Amino acid sequence: MSALKFVVPEMLDMQHVVEEIFGFTPCKWQLQSAQEQLKRNDVFTISSTGSGKTLCFWIPLLFNDNGVMILITPLNILGDKNVDETRVANIPAITLNATTATDEAYKDIANFKYRAIIISPERARTDQRFIRLLDDKKFEKQLFNVTLDESHCVSEWGDFRPEYTELGSLRWLLPRETPFHCASATMPPHVIDDVIEKLHIRPNLVKVHRSNDRPNIHFRVEKMMYPLNSMFDLLRVLCFNGEDPFFVFANSRKETEQIAEFLRSQVAQENQDKIVWFHSGMSPQFRRDIVERLQSGDIWGICCTDAAGMAQPVYEETAGAKPRDAKGEALLPA
Q: Of 209, 243, 276, at which residue does a domain stop? A: 209
In this prediction, the residues of the chain whose per-residue pLDDT falls under 50 are: 313-326
Q: Of 146, 175, 209, at which residue does a domain stop? A: 209
CATH number at residue 296: 3.40.50.300
pLDDT of residue 324: 40
For residues 134 and 170, the answer to whether their CB atoms sit within 8 Å is: yes
DSSP-assigned beta bridge partners for residue 94 = 117
Same-domain status, 172 and 82:
yes
For residue 11, the surrounding DSSP H or E stretch is: helix 11-22
Q: Give the burial class of 284: count Cβ atoms within 10 A of its Cβ; 0-12 exposed, 13-18 middle, 19 or more buried.
A: middle
Same-domain status, 183 and 246:
no
pLDDT of residue 323: 36
Q: Which domain holds residue 276?
A: 217-333
Q: Of 160, 181, 209, at which residue does a domain stop? A: 209
pLDDT tens digits along 21-75: 999 999 999 999 999 999 999 999 999 888 899 999 999 999 999 999 999 988 7
Question: Which residues have C-beta within 8 Å of that of residue 310, sequence separation ≥ 6?
Answer: 74, 75, 78, 150
Please state whether beta strands 180-184 and 116-119 pair in parallel, antiparallel, or not at all (unpaired): unpaired
Residue 111: CA atoms inside 13 Å, Cβ hemisphere, count?
A: 7
Domain count of the fold of the chain: 2
pLDDT of residue 333: 60
Residue 113, phi then psi, degrees to nearest 5: -70, -30
Chain center to CA of 107 = 27
Spatial separation of the C-alpha atoms in residues 315 and 329, rounded to whole Å: 13
